[in-house]
């Protein structure tokens, strides 16, 4: 029986209609989350041409913001934006999506060293483990007294014992697991996207992440049976 092959255009139209959502399994266990972002290149012009003709050409890459379970490596939440969106602006959205989980700690780098980020993490009942900037200053109240906050505690700790001791004592190295997830994302699927439209690029990233989570679940199952 002759079967007509499906064209690339048909595949694209069907992919657009897919409802892709990252839906991690709910658990009552306390979780530690590592948050970070990375860039994925998109099909189009080179960096020099993009800067020189910025009014004519699209962005050369998009940003993928991930929240990763530091025990299992599972990607719990993802936000996909253009390169102009800041990391801190997406942390607020990710923390809202993480509300159903029992979050104990959140690891993030200095790009998230903002009051709104720490407040969002604390509102979720978690401890923000974010290194203060090198020129960080203590926050004081109206009468000059030190404000009781995690950031002030971190600054005082680093001033007394150093940043290396702070990272070691608080287990800040766990944040590297978010970078590991990003490395896997690029290693398995390359760091370049094939889609041209932003909507299709988001679909492509979500499909990649779902496949990664499935592979990760198989790996954990095999490890548990050994």
Distance CA 159, CA 67 (A): 29
Q: Where would I find the H helices in 98-225?
A: 115-123, 150-161, 163-169, 176-189, 198-225
**Residue among 40, 101, 42, 39 at smallest CA distance from 68:** 101
**Residue among 197, 28, 19, 34 at smallest CA distance from 109:** 34
Q: Residues 184-193: what's their mean pLDDT? A: 87
Q: Among 131-135, 141-145, 160-164, 207-211, which stretch is predicted with the lowest mean pLDDT?
A: 141-145
CATH 3.30.420.10 fits 28-225, yes or no: yes
Q: Among 51-60, 104-113, 132-141, which stretch is predicted with the lowest mean pLDDT?
A: 51-60
pLDDT at 27: 75
Distance CA 190, CA 168 (A): 33
Residue 109 has pLDDT above 60, yes or no: yes
DSSP structural state of residue 25: P
The reply to whether the predicted model has a pTM over 0.75 is: yes
DSSP structural state of residue 174: G
Contact status, residue 70 vs residue 104, Cβ threshold 8 Å: no
Domain layout of the chain by residue ranges: 28-225
Burial of 126 (0-12, 13-18, 19+ CB in 10 A): buried
Under the banding of pLDDT at 50, 70 and 90, the label for residue 54 is: low
pLDDT at 51: 56
């Amino acid at each position: 029986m002759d079967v007509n092959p499906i064209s690339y255009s048909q595949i694209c139209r069907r992919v657009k209609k897919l409802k892709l959502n990252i839906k991690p399994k709910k658990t009552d266990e306390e979780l530690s989350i590592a948050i970070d972002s990375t860039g994925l290149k998109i099909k189009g012009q080179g960096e020099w041409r993009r800067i020189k003709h910025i009014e004519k050409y699209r962005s050369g890459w998009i940003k993928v913001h991930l929240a990763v379970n530091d025990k299992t490596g599972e990607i719990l939440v993802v936000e996909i934006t253009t390169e102009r969106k800041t990391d801190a602006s997406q942390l607020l959205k990710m923390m809202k999506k993480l509300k159903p989980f029992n979050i104990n700690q959140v690891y993030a780098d200095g790009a998230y060293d903002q009051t709104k980020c720490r407040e969002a993490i604390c509102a979720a009942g978690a401890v923000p483990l974010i290194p203060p900037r090198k020129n960080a200053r203590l926050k004081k109240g109206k009468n000059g007294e030190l404000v009781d906050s995690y950031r002030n505690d971190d600054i005082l700790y680093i001033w007394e014992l150093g940043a290396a001791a702070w990272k070691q004592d608080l287990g800040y190295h766990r944040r590297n697991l978010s970078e590991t997830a990003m490395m896997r994302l690029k290693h398995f699927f390359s760091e370049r996207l094939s889609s041209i439209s932003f909507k299709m690029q988001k679909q492509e990233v979500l499909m990649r992440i779902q496949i990664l989570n499935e592979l990760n679940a198989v790996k954990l199952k095999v490890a548990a049976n050994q």
